[in-house]
C-alpha cells in the first residue's frame, strides 16, 4: 500500500483495498501529500492517469460527515464528468457518513434545491448551475474549505471563465484551490495563478508513465469512402469504439448512411438532448451497439470503461486534441487501439502529430473485411484462394487403377 494511503481515514484505506490497486498512480503520489499539507496544487497529467482520485481522496479524508455547511465544491466541464465524479465520491465515501450532491444544468432545479436542504458536505457540478444556485442563496460559499477546478483547460475559456472566477471569489480567501487537467496551457496556468495562493505545479509526463498498451494505426482512404471503412471496422470482432468528428454536420451524414447500411450506432453532439444523451450512453456502455459517433465537445469528460477503440474519422486539429481523444482507450494500463482514417494529404499531418508525441504509428489496410499490415494484400489474397475440388469419380478411378 502506498505510504500516503496509510495516512488516510480507515474508510478510504478499506476502499483502496477493495479497489485492488497495487500502487498509486504518479499524479496521486505527487499531489496527495501536498494537498493533505494544505498546499494549493495545479496538477497536469495525461487522460486516464488517476487525476480524480488525486484530489478526491484528500478531500474525503478532511470532510466532517453529518449535516452541515458545504465544505468542498468541485467544478467540472460537462454533465457526464459531474456524474462520473459523483459516482467516485459515492464509491470512495461508502461507510463514512459523508453526503454529496450532483448539480447539473438542464436537470430539475427544484429537485436539486431539495437535495441541498439535506445539507451535503460536498457538491460537484457545472459552473453555470452552481452559480445559479448561489444567486438563489441555496448554495452558500462562506464556509467552503476546498474548491476543485477539474478539466481546467475546458473551464478557463471565454464562455466559462467569469463564472468560475465568480464562484471562487465567493469563498473565503483562505480556502484551498486545486486545479487539474490533462493539459495545462500557459494561458490556463496564468488565469489559475491569479486565483491561487502560491500554488505548487505538479506535472506528470508520458515518460513517467508505464509503457502504454495502446496500438496507434491509420488507414488511408478517400474522404467519400470513410463511411464504408468505418462500417467495415465495426465488424472487427467485439468492439466498443468512440468515433470522433469535427462537427455535427459530418457526424449526422455518417450516422444516416451507417444506419441505412443496417449498422446500429449511437451519436452524441452539442444538440443532443439531455435525456437522449443519457439513453445513448447507457445503451453504449451495455454494448448494445459497437460505435458511438461523437464530436469533441460532446465527448468532454466521458469515461467509458473497457473502451476498445478510438477512431479519428476527422483528423485531430492539434497534438492536444489527439492526446485527449486517444486517451479514452487504454486507461489505467488496459489495452486499446487508436485508428485514424486519413486522406493522402491528412496522412502527412498525422505523421507530424505522431513525431511530436513520439508514438509508433503503423499503416494498415482493409482487405476482405480484415485489418491487415500494409503490403500484405497479395499474401492474404493467396490464402483466400479456394482449393481445387477433387473430382470424386476421377479419384475413385485412380484408386482402382492402383489396385
- Domains of the chain, by residue range, sit at 3-208, 214-384
The kind and range of the H/E element at 367 are: strand 361-367
* Residue 164 Rama label (left phi>0; alpha psi -120 to 50; beta): alpha
Neighbours of 391 (CB within 10 A): 10
Q: Which three cell numbers stand for residue 14?
A: 478499506
Identify the bridge partners of residue 337 per DSSP, sorted by sequence position: 215, 309
CATH number for the 3-208 domain, one of 3.40.80.10, 3.40.50.300, 2.60.40.420, 3.40.1280.10? 3.40.50.300
| Cα–Cα distance for residue pair 138/83, rounded to 1 Å | 20
Average pLDDT rounded to a whole number, residues 325-339: 84
Residue whose grid cell is 505510504: 3
Tell me the per-residue pLDDT of 270-288, one tens digit each, with 9 for 90 and over: 888 878 888 898 899 899 9
| Cα–Cα distance for residue pair 181/45, rounded to 1 Å | 7
pLDDT(375) > 80: no
Q: At the topology level of CATH, where does 214-384 sit?
A: Rossmann fold (3.40.50)
**Fold match, 3-208 / 214-384:** yes
Average pLDDT rounded to a whole number, residues 368-373: 79
Q: Which three cell numbers stand for residue 293?
A: 459517433
- For residue 318, give the nearest of 350, 273, 340 by alpha carbon: 350
Please say whether the beta carbons of 270 and 289 come within 8 A: no
Average pLDDT rounded to a whole number, residues 204-214: 76
Backbone angles phi, psi at 61, to 5 degrees: -60, -40
Residues 6 or more apart in contact with residue 207 via CB below 8 angstroms: none
Query: Which pTM value belongs to this model?
Result: 0.72
Backbone angles phi, psi at 187, to 5 degrees: -60, -45
Q: How much of the chain, in percent, has pLDDT values that exceed 70?
A: 90
Q: CA-CA distances (angstroms) from residue 132 to 5, 103, 126, 144, 354? A: 37, 10, 10, 17, 43
Q: What angle do CA 250, 269, 135 make, to 5 degrees?
A: 150
Amino acid at each position: 500500500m502506498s505510504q500516503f494511503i496509510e495516512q488516510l481515514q480507515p474508510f478510504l484505506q478499506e476502499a483502496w483495498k477493495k479497489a485492488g490497486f497495487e500502487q498509486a498512480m504518479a499524479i496521486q503520489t505527487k499531489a496527495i501529500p501536498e494537498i493533505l499539507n494544505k498546499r494549493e496544487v495545479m496538477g497536469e497529467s495525461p487522460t486516464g492517469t488517476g487525476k480524480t482520485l488525486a484530489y478526491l481522496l484528500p478531500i474525503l479524508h478532511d470532510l466532517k460527515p453529518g449535516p452541515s455547511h458545504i465544505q468542498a465544491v468541485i467544478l467540472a466541464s460537462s454533465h457526464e464528468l459531474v456524474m462520473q465524479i459523483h459516482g467516485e465520491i459515492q464509491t470512495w465515501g461508502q461507510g463514512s457518513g459523508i453526503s454529496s450532491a450532483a448539480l447539473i444544468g438542464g436537470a430539475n432545479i427544484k429537485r436539486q434545491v431539495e437535495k441541498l436542504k439535506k445539507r451535503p458536505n460536498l457538491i460537484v457540478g457545472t459552473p453555470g448551475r452552481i452559480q445559479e444556485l448561489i444567486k438563489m442563496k441555496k448554495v452558500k460559499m462562506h464556509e467552503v474549505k476546498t474548491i476543485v477546478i477539474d478539466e481546467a483547460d475546458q473551464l478557463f475559456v471565454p464562455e466559462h471563465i467569469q463564472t468560475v472566477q465568480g464562484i471562487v471569489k465567493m469563498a473565503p480567501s483562505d480556502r484551498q484551490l486545486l486545479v487539474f487537467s490533462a493539459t495545462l496551457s500557459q494561458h490556463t496556468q496564468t488565469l489559475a495563478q491569479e486565483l491561487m495562493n502560491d500554488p505548487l505545479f505538479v506535472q506528470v509526463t508520458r515518460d513517467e508513465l508505464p509503457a502504454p498498451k495502446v496500438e496507434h494505426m491509420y488507414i488511408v482512404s478517400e474522404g467519400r469512402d470513410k463511411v464504408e471503412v468505418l462500417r467495415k471496422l465495426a465488424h472487427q470482432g467485439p468492439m466498443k469504439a468512440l468515433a470522433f468528428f469535427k462537427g455535427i454536420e459530418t457526424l449526422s451524414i455518417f450516422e444516416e448512411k451507417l444506419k441505412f447500411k443496417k449498422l446500429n450506432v449511437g451519436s452524441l453532439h452539442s444538440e443532443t438532448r439531455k435525456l437522449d444523451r443519457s439513453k445513448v450512453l447507457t445503451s453504449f456502455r451495455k454494448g448494445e451497439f459497437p460505435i458511438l459517433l461523437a464530436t469533441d465537445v460532446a465527448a468532454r469528460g466521458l469515461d467509458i470503461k473497457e473502451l476498445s477503440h478510438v477512431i479519428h474519422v476527422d483528423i485531430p486539429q492539434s497534438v492536444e486534441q489527439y492526446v485527449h481523444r486517444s486517451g479514452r482507450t487504454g486507461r489505467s494500463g488496459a489495452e486499446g487501439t487508436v485508428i485514424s482514417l486519413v486522406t493522402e494529404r491528412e496522412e502527412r499531418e498525422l505523421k507530424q502529430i505522431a513525431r511530436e508525441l513520439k508514438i509508433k504509428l503503423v499503416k494498415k489496410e482493409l482487405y476482405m473485411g480484415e485489418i491487415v499490415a500494409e503490403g500484405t494484400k497479395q499474401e492474404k489474397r493467396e490464402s483466400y484462394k479456394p482449393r481445387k475440388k477433387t473430382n470424386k469419380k476421377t479419384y475413385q478411378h485412380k484408386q482402382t487403377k492402383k489396385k
